[in-house]
Amino acid sequence: MHETIPAHGGELIDLTVRGDEREALRERAAGLPALRLNPRTVSDLELLGNGGFSPLKGFMGRVDYDPVVESMRLASGLPWSIPVTLAVSREEAKGLREGSEVALADEAGNVLAVMALAEQFDYDKRREARNVYRTEDEAHPGVAALYRQGDVLLGGGVRVIDLPPHDDFPPYRLTPAQTRAAFAERGWRTVVGFQTRNPVHRAHEYIQKCALEVVDGLLLHPLVGETKEDDIPAETRLRCYQVLLDGYYPKDRVILSVLPAAMRYAGPREAIFHALIRKNYGCTHFIVGRDHAGVGKYYGTFDAHVIFREFAPDELGISPLFFDHAFYCRRCQSMATTKTCPHGPEERVTLSGTRVREMLQRIELPPPEYSRREVAEILLQWANTDQYRI
């Protein structure tokens, strides 16, 4: 079985323990002080456990945290753009001793892992905000989450007893080892990863298919961890993808799976982060759109492209594919981008997210040049249920 690309750092990490060792760890964990992690940190624990965050083997200590915040590198020199940390309140930290073990549980109290607590350290939230998010504004959802979290970071290796339980999207919950096996089974040597937290429209389909013209396979990898309240729920997004795949994609060239990560909205730094995670899932290429992982007006349109220049290509391993926004052009009579269409904006069918929401609320379908009918109908259904909050 060949491998598409080695994991970041060379080896796919697996922090889950099995068999007798797992039983022993579970018993020991019952007697340890336990921390209840918020959903964001549980998402991080899952990606540590399944190797999505290779080469990390636990929550960052200061030796990695500082260079990641300052210069997007781990202590080893490997590129890494977003801190992966476990924050607790001073109160919680007081009860814990460096050199001891701590059980890590989810909000429901299920013990998932044991951490060897190597260190507790203070950190400067404003510095992290400035460097990672490029703003100290607490209106930024990623910065707000950072300011809300505890004032002390706990660093140390983790061993995972159980990956977080999920009852949603069971067929789509592939781990990095499983996507890699699926790629190998299909004989793919090159695979492009597509990150999204939005419903799929013609523009996304066009970009995915442009990429699919030059690589063997496509991993559609919607993010289903915590997102902003006003993002469209993952379940609805998944249904949109499913009808689109059924009708318009060659079955043997696409895999749909979900990424359990939480969104940070860190724009350019998160684009690097998303690319490295997809490398761990076995992708050789990664689509970086305009304003990737951005929010509001915090980032320039192409900041998420420019940031890749800060690394030598062989340091990242995975190759970014940069795309501009796509649209339907009436003169070209096809999908296009500003890179391929010379016509003016009056010829282009483009709609803002806000405009689409307004149409859906009026029970009006967006035009077929913007959204496939099957997809638009699912969105229409969602927009007119009680869960609709906008």
**Looking only at residues 274 through 313 of this chain, which bind Zn ion when binding is defined by CB under 5 A?**
none
Footprint of Zn ion on 235-274 (CB under 5 A) = none
- Enter the tokens of residue 224: 């289903």
Task: Determine, following the binding rule CB under 5 A, whether residue 332 of this chain makes contact with Zn ion.
Answer: yes
Comparing CB distances to Zn ion, the nearer of 32 and 332 is 332
8 A C-beta contact, residue 215 and residue 192: yes
CB of 344 to Zn ion, least distance (A): 9
The span of 6-14, 49-57, 91-99, 322-330 binding Zn ion (CB under 5 A) equals 322-330
With binding defined as CB under 5 A, does residue 343 bind Zn ion?
yes
Type of residue at 140: H
- The residues that are catalytic are 197-198
Beta-carbon count within 10 A of 201 CB: 23
Element (H, E) at 28: helix 19-30
Pairing status of strand 119-122 against strand 86-88: unpaired
Q: Report the nearest approach of Zn ion to the CB of residue 275 (Å).
A: 30
How far apart CA 343 and CA 334 sit, in angstroms, is 12
Closer Cβ to Zn ion, 111 or 341, answer by number: 341
Ramachandran bin of 344, using left for φ above 0, alpha for ψ from -120 to 50, beta for the remaining angles? beta
3-state secondary structure of 41: helix
372: nearest Cα among 260, 249, 289? 249
3-class DSSP state for residue 133? helix
The yes or no reply on residue 148 touching Zn ion (CB under 5 A) is no
Only one of the segments 222-230, 277-285, 323-331, 381-389 lies at the binding site for Zn ion (rule: CB under 5 A); that segment is 323-331
In the block, tokens 């003016």 appear at 344
Q: How far is the CB of 210 from Zn ion (least distance, A)?
A: 16
CB of 346 to Zn ion, least distance (A): 11
Note whether 341 binds Zn ion by CB under 5 A.
Answer: yes
Among 331, 381, 384, 390, binds Zn ion (CB under 5 A): 331
Query: What number of chain residues touch Zn ion (CB under 5 A)?
Result: 5
What are the residues binding Zn ion (CB under 5 A)?
A: 329, 331-332, 341, 343
